[in-house]
Amino acid sequence: MSYQVLARKWRPRNFESLVGQEHVVRALRHALDEKRLHHAYLFSGTRGVGKTTLARILAKCLNCETGISSRPCGKCSACLEIDAGRYVDLIEVDAATNTKVDEMRQLLENSAYAPTRGRFKVYVIDEVHMLSTSAFNAMLKTLEEPPEHIKFILATTDPQKIPVTVLSRCLQFNLKQMPAPAIAAHLKGILAEEKISAEDAALLLLAGCARGSMRDALSLLDQAIAHGGGKVTEEGVRAMLGAIDDSYLYSILESIAKRDARGLLAVVEEMRSRSVAFDNALQELGSLLHRVALAQAAPDAADAVGSLRERLSALAKALDPEDVQLCYQIAIHGRQDLPFAPDEFAGFTMALLRMLAFAAGERAEGGAGDKRAQAATVSGDGLARQGFDGDWPKLAGALNLGGVAKQLAQASELQRFDGESLELCVPPAAKHLAEKSFQDKLRGALQEHFGKPVRLTVRVGETGGNTARDRAAAAISQDAFVRDLVENFDATIVESSIKPAQ
C-alpha cells in the first residue's frame, strides 16, 4: 500500500477531532441539532486552519443517511464517499482556476437540478475571493433565493475582497490560527498513534514554525520523521529547520544587559561558524524580547521551559522595560535593513551593536552609572548627594531625563519643597505635559538624583515666570546681540522655539 502523508491521513472527519476551532464548532453544532440551517456559509482564515475540512464535515452532517445531525455516523455510503472525495452531490470548486462568469453561470444552472443521491447538493467554493466581479454578480440571485436542496459553503483567505452583497447573504465564521501548544499536543497524539518517538521540544519547534497552520505542521512533521530516520529529536529538527538555539539568543541579551561587547561578539562569531540564518535570528530575537516584556509585565506569563525559564526571569530583572522595547524595535527594523547591509553577518552585528549603544543610555560596562543601581540607592552615598537649595530650573537641567519628561521639568515651576515632597505647577498651555506617565518618569529621575523616594505632585495653574524655559527666554531677550537684532532689524523672538541649555 502506498504511503499516505500525515496531513491527509489525519485530516479530521468529525467535529470531535477538529482542533482549535471550538467557537465555530459550537455554533454549527447548535444549528445542526436544532435544524436551523442556513443556505450559505462563509469560512475565512489563513491557510491550513481547517476551512475545507470543516466544509466537508458540514457536508457529511447534512447528508448522513442517519439524518441531519452534528454527529454523522461516518459509516454510511454518504459519509464514506465524502471522506474519499467522490460523493456526487458534493461539488468542490477552486475559484482560483474558475474565475470567469461563464463558468459560474454553468455551475449555477446545474444547481437547479435535484441531488442525485443526497439530501442536499453542497457546493464548496474554495478561495472564493478570486472570482471576478461578474462571477460574483452571477451568484447573487442564487445566493439570495436558492432552491431548497442547495447549500453553499464558501472558503477564503481574504474576506476583504468579497463584495459586501455576497457577505450579507452568508453566515460568516472566522477560523483562528492555532496556538503552538495546541498544535504540539496534536502532533504528539498523532505520533503516539503512529508509534514514533518524539521529543517535546522538537514538537514545539515544529509548531512554532507552522505559524498557526495545522496542515503546515503536519507537513513539517512528515519531513522531520524522514530527516530523523523515524525519530523526531530537537537537535534533528533544529538542523532541518535551520532554527536558532535559544541559548544563543539568551546569551546575546545577557551580554547587552551587562554591557559586555566582547561577550556579545563572541556569541555572534559562534553563530556564524554554525552557518546560522541571521534574518531568522533577528526574528527569533524579537520573539524572545516579546517574552521578556511579558515576563516583566506578568511573570506568570513567562513562556519558557527548564533552565531557560530561569534565564528568562533573570533577563526580565536585568533589563529595563524601556531597553526591552528599544531592543525589540531595533530587531524589527534590523530585519528590514538586512537586504541593504554589506552582508547578513554585518547587518546582524550592527543591529546588536545598536542595541548595545542605545540600551540604557550612557551606562558603561560594569560602571557605577547603572540607572537601576542609582534608583535603588537609599542609603550611604545616596544620602550624601548635594542638597537642593530651591533652584528648580537648575535642578531640572541636572536630572537624567529625556523626551517629554524633560519638557515637563523645564516647563514646571516649583511651588513647594519640604525635603521629602515637591509640588510643581505647569501653565495651562503646557498641561499636556502633566500626564501620569511623564510624571512617573520625572519622579523616578528625582528619586535617582536624591537617592531616596520623593513624593511629587504636579498641578496645572498660572506660573510666576521662574521655570527653566522662562529663564532661557529671559536670557535670550537680554542678550545684547539679540536686542540689537530686535531693535535695528525688527526681528521677533519665537518663544516656542526656545529650549533651556542642556
Return the pLDDT at 90: 92
Largest CA distance in the chain: 101
Return the pLDDT at 29: 92
Return the pLDDT at 379: 32
What CA dihedral angle connects 95, 96, 99 and 104, to 10 degrees? -20
Q: Taking 70 as the threshold, does the pLDDT of residue 387 lie above it?
A: no
What are the cell numbers at 135? 462571477
Mean pLDDT of the region 263-291: 89
At 7, the pLDDT band (50, 70, 90 cuts) reads: confident
Q: How far are the Cα atoms of 44, 105, 151, 162 from residue 140, in angstroms, in the given order? A: 19, 11, 14, 12
At 356, the pLDDT band (50, 70, 90 cuts) reads: confident
At 285, the pLDDT band (50, 70, 90 cuts) reads: very high
How many angstroms separate the CA atoms of 42 and 163, rounded? 13
What is the per-residue pLDDT across 80-108, written as a single tens digit (0 to 9) for each? 999 988 999 998 888 877 667 777 787 78
Amino acid letter for position 279: D
Return the pLDDT at 210: 86
Q: Taking 80 as the threshold, does the pLDDT of residue 376 lie above it?
A: no
Return the pLDDT at 62: 93
What CA dihedral angle connects 87, 172, 31 and 142, to 10 degrees? -60
Q: What are the boundaries of each domain within the chain?
A: 6-174, 180-241, 246-358, 372-502
Q: Is 204 helix (H, G, I), strand (E, B) or coil?
A: helix
Mean pLDDT of the region 346-361: 83
Least confident of 76-80, 188-192, 335-339, 488-492: 488-492
Instruction: Please give the CATH topology (third level) of the domain spanning 180-241.
Output: Helicase, Ruva Protein; domain 3 (1.10.8)
At 456, the pLDDT band (50, 70, 90 cuts) reads: confident
Q: How far are the Cα atoms of 34, 276, 326 from residue 265, in angstroms, in the given order? A: 65, 14, 20
The DSSP letter of residue 116 is S
Return the pLDDT at 384: 31
How many angstroms separate the CA atoms of 457 and 439, rounded? 8
| Strand intervals (E) in 70-160 | 90-94, 121-126, 150-156
What are the cell numbers at 105? 453561470
Amino acid letter for position 460: V
Q: How many CB atoms lie within 10 A of CB 413?
A: 21
Cβ-in-10-Å burial (0-12, 13-18, 19+) of 464 comes to exposed
Question: Of residues 284 and 2, which shows the higher confidence score?
Answer: 284
Is beta strand 413-417 parallel, antiparallel or unpaired with respect to 421-426? antiparallel
Q: Taking 70 as the threshold, does the pLDDT of residue 409 lie above it?
A: yes
3-state secondary structure 257-282: HCCCHHHHHHHHHHHHHCCCCHHHHH
Mean pLDDT of the region 298-302: 70
Return the pLDDT at 374: 35
Class of domain 246-358: mainly alpha
What pTM was estimated for this model as a whole? Answer: 0.60
Q: Taking all residues of the chain, what is their mean pLDDT, rounded to a whole number?
A: 81
Return the pLDDT at 54: 93
Class of domain 372-502: alpha beta
| Strand intervals (E) in 366-482 | 413-417, 421-426, 455-460
What are the cell numbers at 384? 550624601
Cβ-in-10-Å burial (0-12, 13-18, 19+) of 418 comes to exposed
At 474, the pLDDT band (50, 70, 90 cuts) reads: low
Amino acid letter for position 342: P
Least confident of 112-121, 307-316, 345-354, 360-369: 360-369
Q: Taking 50 as the threshold, does the pLDDT of residue 12 lie above it?
A: yes
Site of grid cell 452532517: 61
Residues above pLDDT 90, as percent of the chain? 25
At 255, the pLDDT band (50, 70, 90 cuts) reads: very high
Amino acid letter for position 358: F
Mean pLDDT of the region 183-191: 92
The DSSP letter of residue 172 is E
In order, the DSSP letters of 12-47 are --SGGG--S-HHHHHHHHHHHHTT---SEEEEE-ST
Q: Is 421 helix (H, G, I), strand (E, B) or coil?
A: strand
How many angstroms separate the CA atoms of 352 and 334, rounded? 9
Mean pLDDT of the region 249-254: 91
Question: Of residues 244 and 485, which shows the higher confidence score?
Answer: 244
At 363, the pLDDT band (50, 70, 90 cuts) reads: very low
How many angstroms separate the CA atoms of 119 and 254, rounded? 64
Cα 141 → chain centroid: 41
What is the per-residue pLDDT across 194-239, written as a single tens digit (0 to 9) for each? 999 999 888 988 988 888 889 999 999 999 999 888 889 888 888 7
How many angstroms separate the CA atoms of 146 and 120, rounded? 12
279, 338 Cβ separation under 8 angstroms: yes
Q: Taking 90 as the threshold, does the pLDDT of residue 445 lie above it?
A: no
How many angstroms separate the CA atoms of 465 and 427, rounded? 10
Residues above pLDDT 70, as percent of the chain? 83
Return the pLDDT at 378: 30
Instruction: Please give the CATH topology (third level) of the domain spanning 6-174.
Output: Rossmann fold (3.40.50)
